[in-house]
A = this chain, B = another copy of it.
Amino acid sequence: MTESSEHHYTDHVQDHLKQVESLLAKHALVEEVARKEALPREDRHALIDKLVHKQHLTMLRSKLDDMHAADIAYILEALPIEQRLQVWDLVKSERDGEILIEVSDSVRESLIATMNREELSAAAGQLDADEIADLAPDLPQSVMRDVFKSLSIEERERLRSAMSYSDDSVGALMDFNMIHIREDVTLEVVSRYLRRFDELPDHTDQIFVVDRDDKLKGVLPLNRIVVNEPEAIVGTLMLTDIIQLHPDDKAETAATAFERYDLVSAPVVDEDGKLYGRVTVNVVLDYIRDESETDLLNQAGLLEEEDIFASVWKSAKNRWVWLALNLCTAFFASRVIGNFEGTIEKFVALATLMPIVAGIAGNSANQTTTIIIRSMALGQLTQTNASRLLFKEMAISGLNGLVWGGVAGLFAYYLYHNVTLGLVMMSAMLLNLMVGALVGLMIPMIMHKFGRDPAIGSSVLLTAITDSGGFFIFLGLATIFLVH
C-alpha cells in the first residue's frame, strides 16, 4: 500500500489524456519531419533528441511524475498500444509496481510483455505481499523466484498464503497492514505507540485488539481514541460485537457485509480466531465494480474485459465461444423448422410469423431469469417462497400471452384474413411464453444447485429453448389446425 500523497489528484483526468495525446502527436510529427527530410541516420537522431526529447517528452515525463498512479493507469488503458508503450517508458521505474496493480488485466499483460526479468523483479519488489499475489498470475516463474528470494521470511509466508486463496475468496481481498494492541492498556499508551509510526496504513479506521495468542478480542475505532480521555482503558472502549471474516469465505460475503454495515475495514481471522489480516473498503469497491462489469460482459458473451486496442485476433477469440454456442443452437432451431418444411410450403405466411413467436418468448424469459438471478444473489430466494415465485412468473407470462399473444394474433389475422391462423398465433405465443417462464426460472435454480454461476450461460440455453420451442409449438399447431 504505497500511498503516493506527493502525486496530485485530479478532477479532470480526461483533460490529462488529451494533453498526453497531443504531446505524443507533436512528438510523432517531429519524427515524421525528420524522416521526410531524409537526413542521415545520426543527424536525424540528433535532431529528434534535440527537438523532442528535450521538449515534448520532458514535458510529458514531468506531467506523469505529478500524476496519481491510478490516473496514469487510466491513460495507459486509453492509449493505442504503441503510444501506450511510449508513455510506459517515460514512467519512473520506481512507480512501475503500483501502476501495474492499477491497470486492467488485459492492459497489464501488454505492459509486462515489454519488461525484462530485472525490471519485473524490481517492480514487484516495490509491492506488499498481497499486491504481489495479485500480480503473480501474470509474472514469469523466474521473476516470482527472484521476488521470493528478496522477501523476508514473514513476507514470504504472507505471499504464499495470499496466493493460496482463490480469486473470489476473502483471502484474495485481504492485506496484512493491520495495527494490533492489547486490551489492558490506556489510550495514552496507544497514542504513544501510534506516534512511533510515520503514517498509519491506508484505511486504518480501527485498531485490532488481540490477546497474548493473537486471538482477536475486539476493535478500537480511531474515532474512539480521539473522543475519549487518555486515561481510558482499551478494554472498556473496544467494540466486541464485530464482523469477522474468514479467508475462505466468498468474496461476495465480504462485499455484502461492507455494504450492509457500512464498513471501512474488517478483520480476517483464521479458524482458531487468530487475527490474520484485514479487508478494506477500497478493495471491496474495486471487487464490486469488477464483478458488475464481468456480469455485463458475460451477459453479452464476452469471456473477459477487452483491451480496446488488443489485436483483432485476440479480441475475436474473446468472442468466439459465445458465437459458436449460439450458432449451434441456431442450427438446432433451424432443423426444427426443417421438419415442418411441408407445412411452410403449403402456408408460407408461417415463415413470416414464426420469428415473432420465438423472439418475444425469449425476451420475456430473459426478464424472468434476470429477476431470479438477482433474488438468488441477494439470498432472497428460499425454499418457502420458490413455488410462490414460480406461480407468479407463470401468471405474468400467462397474462403476457393473452395480451401480446392477442395483439400478435390480430396482426396475423389482419394480414392474412384467416381466423384459425390468428388463433394458432395467439395460442403459440401463450404456450411459448409459459415455457419461457418455466425454463427462465428453472435454469438459474438448477445451475445454482450444482454450484455454477447462473449468470453465465443461462441466456444461451434460454434462447435455445424459446427459439426451438417457439418454432416447434407454432409450426406444430399450424400443421394440426391449418394444413390438412
Residues on A close to B: CB < 8 A?
Answer: 5, 8-9, 11, 13-14, 17-18, 21, 68, 70-71, 74, 77-78, 80, 191, 194-195, 197-200, 202-205, 222-229, 239, 241-244, 253, 257-262, 264, 281-282, 284-286, 288-289, 291-293, 295-297, 299-302, 305-306, 308-309, 312-313, 315-316, 319-320, 322-324, 326-327, 330-331, 333-335, 337-338, 341, 344-345, 348-356, 358-360, 363-364, 366-367, 369-371, 374-375, 378-382, 384-385, 388-389, 392, 395-396, 399-400, 403-404, 407-408, 411, 415, 463, 467, 471
Please give the count of copies of this chain that the complex contains. Answer: 2
Separation of A197 and B352 alpha carbons in the complex (Å) = 74
Q: Which of B222, B349, B355 contacts A355 (CB 8 A)?
A: B355
| Contacting residues, chain B, for A262 (C-beta < 8 A) | 202-203, 282
A78-B380, A334-B352, A352-B337 are contacts. A360–B323 as well, Cβ < 8 Å? Answer: yes
Measured CB to CB, the closest approach of chain B to A421, in angstroms, equals 13
Separation of A73 and B192 alpha carbons in the complex (Å) = 42
Sample (16) of A-B pairs whose CB atoms are under 8 Å apart: A77-B380, A195-B228, A200-B227, A202-B262, A205-B264, A281-B281, A292-B292, A293-B374, A299-B299, A308-B375, A312-B396, A327-B404, A330-B359, A331-B356, A334-B356, A338-B415
Separation of A9 and B396 alpha carbons in the complex (Å) = 37
A195-B227, A299-B299, A363-B322 are contacts. A353–B334 as well, Cβ < 8 Å? Answer: yes
Measured CB to CB, the closest approach of chain B to A65, in angstroms, equals 14
Q: Which of B226, B284, B306, B324 contacts A191 (CB 8 A)?
A: B226
A195-B228, A358-B355, A385-B80 are contacts. A379–B14 as well, Cβ < 8 Å? Answer: yes
Measured CB to CB, the closest approach of chain B to A297, in angstroms, equals 6
Separation of A53 and B114 alpha carbons in the complex (Å) = 72
Separation of A378 and B330 alpha carbons in the complex (Å) = 34
Separation of A261 and B7 alpha carbons in the complex (Å) = 11
| Contacting residues, chain B, for A286 (C-beta < 8 A) | 259
Q: Which of B5, B359, B374 contacts A305 (CB 8 A)?
A: B374
Are the C-beta atoms of B344 and A382 separated by less than 8 Å? no
